[in-house]
Amino acid sequence: MTAVARSRAGRRRIRTLTGLVCGALAAGGLAAAGTSTLEPEAAHASSHREAPLISGQPEYDNTDVYAFVSPDRPDTTTLVANWVPFEEPAGGPTFYPFPEDGRYDIHIDNDGDGQGDLLYRWTFDTRTRNGNTYRYNTGPVTSLDDPDLNVTQTYDIDLLKLKEQRVVSTTKVADNLPIAPSNVGKASMPNYAKLRDQAVRKLPGGNTAFAGQADDPFFLDLRVFNQLYGGDLSEVGRDTLAGYNVNSIALQVPSATLRQSADQPVVGVWSTTDRRNADGKWTQVSRLGSPLVNELVVPIKDKDKFNASSPWNDADFAKYVNKPELPKLIEDQYKIKAPAEDRKDLVSVFLTGVKGLNQPPNGRAAEELRLDTSTKPTAAPKRLGVLDGDNGGYPNGRRLSDDVVDISLQVVQGELVGQKNDLGDAVDVNDRPFGKAFPYLALPTSGSRGQVAEKGSGSQSGPGERNMLNGGAAPVADGNGTDDTVLLASIAAGGAGVLLMGLGFAWWRTRGPGRTVRGRAAGTGGV
């Protein structure tokens, strides 16, 4: 269903000088502009901004984690994690650098005990060639080492092996690799796909790495937060994240490196962000495993606590999985019966893994994205994953194309306990196509997106041409090639504005301090 927009028009009389002045200015502006109006783009809330503290720190806000068997290299696993929700493509001049005071970590639990056994850590370095310009780039950028790319970034990857949550060894996986820049626009980066390709690097040990900007791969209608899609499902079907980008890191690793053994191929995956404080100490500020857990399962009072915690301590949050709020709200709003509590089905999806699918032996309940790395990828993945008989999809890991909102809504409302339903947000695919090879992410939306001024047949600043020199206006030329029509309209509009302002001033004079309604001073014969 599509969203239904409703508006109510009201009429108000202008009663003050301020109202008259505003009316005059508005009348002049509208007359000069003809029938054109300026409509600001609607602002959206983001499930990415899931907790109070992290919502103000987008550079450190982990939006999504993906882990899947690589479709074109089935002996490897691809790990993807994204940060910085709602990147407006044209958001210059600084755009969206990775933070130098941040550590982006992807954790691997390969024995199911809720503790990380492997930790891949990304750290970043920034270089500015010319600090005497405001520009991100000083000309068209054709390669990652182009001197016209004024601000460049590199990254390192370290692999930390852990035992009982203590580091026992550290190995440098990647050193000083280039990061694909923000996609400024067509004039600045005429072939962004080439820059993306140059940022994909093959590493020793069968690893492949990428870091840079990408289209946000999470497709969904976020208006679940507006009384569950408008209260009557009138607000579904719009991909709220369409057109926005994220900062992505991706790593393709031989599955044998991640898993405990061929006999125990299930791994748990989650990501965290550490930020360095003023004392130089590192503090965990974001955490993410399975999608939508912190957003729709953990209540407001514990969201920041969840972001600072580790899966080992997830018994603190188990009650919210056993007795979730969302299915009760759906029952109240749409009369679809909520399953009986305690919710063992949700515990298996979010905390332990599903038996016979992705549950490690003797595992501890911990919120991780669990993946059986021995699962063979399919040539035709289904968006509903396991619910539709495709065991290579969510909740067995998470692929870019998995429709996790529809899956989660149906599972929350009892799909796994025999209460069949077809709940969903009517957004089934991403707005941009995913790639068929690593890093699989869609290219980021360009800063050149959107409507541009129409070109006419005149010279750069002549009639019929919209450009910066005439403010993007659309001149209306007469038979002699002049713009008298627009000029006269502007003069008339200005005159109308001045007249209205004069009337307003005169009205104010008659109602000045110490005057009655009739304009006479009290107790006098008037003026």
Q: What is the pLDDT of residue 449?
A: 74
Residue range 243-258: mean pLDDT, rounded: 97
- Higher per-residue confidence, 122 vs 496: 122
The per-residue pLDDT for range 409-444, each reduced to its tens digit, is 999 999 999 999 999 999 999 999 999 999 999 999
Which of 247, 215, 210, 173 lies closest to 437 in space, CA to CA?
Answer: 210
Residue in the structure block whose two tokens are 């309940």:
365
Residue range 104-117: mean pLDDT, rounded: 96
- Higher per-residue confidence, 31 vs 328: 328
Residue 211's pLDDT band (boundaries 50, 70, 90)? very high
Q: Roughly what angle, to the nearest 10 degrees, separates helices 326-334 and 404-412?
A: 80
Asked whether residue 8 carries a pLDDT value surpassing 90, the answer given is no
Residue range 361-382: mean pLDDT, rounded: 94
- The lowest-confidence range among 51-60, 373-382, 438-447, 483-492 is 483-492
pTM of full prediction above 0.85: no
Q: What is the pLDDT of residue 452?
A: 57
Which of 314, 279, 313, 277 lies closest to 293 in space, CA to CA?
Answer: 314
Q: What is the pLDDT of residue 293?
A: 87
Q: What is the mean pLDDT of the chain?
A: 82
Beta 282-288 vs 201-202: how paired, if at all?
A: unpaired
Q: What percent of the chain has pLDDT over 90?
A: 66
Which of 215, 153, 200 lies closest to 179 in space, CA to CA?
Answer: 153
345-238-428 Cα angle (round to 5):
50
Residue range 123-149: mean pLDDT, rounded: 97
- C-alpha 244/C-alpha 231 separation (Å) is 26
Which of 345, 337, 298 lies closest to 318 in space, CA to CA?
Answer: 298
Asked whether residue 407 carries a pLDDT value surpassing 80, the answer given is yes
Q: What is the pLDDT of residue 143?
A: 98
The per-residue pLDDT for range 455-500, each reduced to its tens digit, is 554 444 455 566 556 655 555 544 444 444 444 444 454 555 544 4
Q: What is the pLDDT of residue 165?
A: 86
CB 323 within 8 A of CB 343: yes
Q: What percent of the chain has pLDDT over 70?
A: 75
- Higher per-residue confidence, 310 vs 460: 310
Asked whether residue 10 carries a pLDDT value surpassing 90, the answer given is no
- Token pair, residue 317, equals 């949050």
Asked whether residue 392 carries a pLDDT value surpassing 90, the answer given is yes
- The lowest-confidence range among 42-46, 124-128, 259-263, 386-390 is 42-46
CB 343 within 8 A of CB 321: yes
- Token pair, residue 285, equals 């500020």
Which of 352, 350, 355 lies closest to 326 in space, CA to CA?
Answer: 350
Tell me if residue 65 falls in helix, strand or coil. Answer: strand
Q: How many helices (H) and strands (E) does the chain have?
A: 11, 12
CB 215 within 8 A of CB 19: no
Residue 373's pLDDT band (boundaries 50, 70, 90)? very high
